[in-house]
Structure 1
Amino acid sequence: MKVCVVNCFEKSKRAMLCASITAVLAVSSLAVYAQDGIKGIEEANGKVRGYFGVGCDLMYAVGGVLGLIGAVRVYQKWSNGAPETGSIAAAWFGSCVFLVIVATVLKSFFGIQ
């Protein structure tokens, strides 16, 4: 019985030593990769800022297309004599204005020309 306890203790000591060595190696390898993380974040920041102007222009274009679609739909409803044409026109106009304002605010907030 005494031999089994000693063997189990020796095995657990070896397992703890192996686990400790593995943990130290894992932490040291993470420190090496952490330095590249900052460079990666800066690169991603540059790429996102590069596409930001194009995205805002796309929002302006979508706002224009929605404005045209809304104008046609409101005209159709007005021609057919549908009630509450004014509220429908206000909803379409409001959505177009919202897209333009969002694009403008985002450009000024992030300081992108």
Structure 2
Amino acid sequence: MKTFKAKAAAIARRITALFPLMLLSIQHSMAQDGNAGINEATTQVKSYFATGTNLMYAIGAVVGLVGAIKVYKKWNDGEHDTGKVASSWFGSCIFLVVVATVLKSFFGV
């Protein structure tokens, strides 16, 4: 039966044998062109950008419809905070649309 020292020595020999392979793989990954990876990431983000802004417009439309129904219900029930609720829902919709439009125009996609 192997002792703890013998097991530790065997593990150390295996690590020492694998160390040059690890260095070669690190060197290979660093030697590749970093610009290619950055350009690929930029292309992927740009491909999702139009979909993301359209999603923001859709969320704004849904929030607007839900808000309109909520304000209508409060108005019919005669509640006094109808104006506050209407302005908050309207502000949320405007914020989503403005953010989507500004991002679209800022990034030129």
Structure 1 unaligned regions, length at least 5: 1-18
* Identity among equivalent pairs (%): 54
User: Does residue 32 of structure 1 match 2:23?
Assistant: no
Query: Distance between the aligned counterparts of 1:27 and 1:83, measured in 2?
Result: 71
Q: Which residue number corresponds to residue 95 of structure 2?
A: 98
TM-score (norm: length of structure 1) = 0.71
Q: Larger deviation: 73-82 or 43-52?
A: 43-52
TM-score (norm: length of structure 2) = 0.73
User: Does residue 79 of structure 1 match 2:42?
Assistant: no
What is the one-letter code of the residue matched to 1:40?
Answer: G
Aligned-pair distance for 1:42?
Answer: 1.4
Aligned-pair distance for 1:51?
Answer: 1.1
User: Does residue 51 of structure 1 match 2:54?
Assistant: no
Q: Which residue number corresponds to residue 108 of structure 1?
A: 105
Q: Larger deviation: 88-97 or 28-37?
A: 28-37
Matched residues, number: 97
2:73 aligned counterpart, secondary structure: helix
What is the one-letter code of the residue matched to 1:33?
Answer: S
Q: Which residue number corresponds to residue 3 of structure 1?
A: none
Per-residue CA deviations over 1:74-109 (Å, capped at 9, x if unaligned) read: 000000001110010000000000000110111122
Computing the radius of gyration over CA atoms, which structure comes out larger, 1 or 2? 1
Q: Which residue number corresponds to residue 10 of structure 1?
A: none
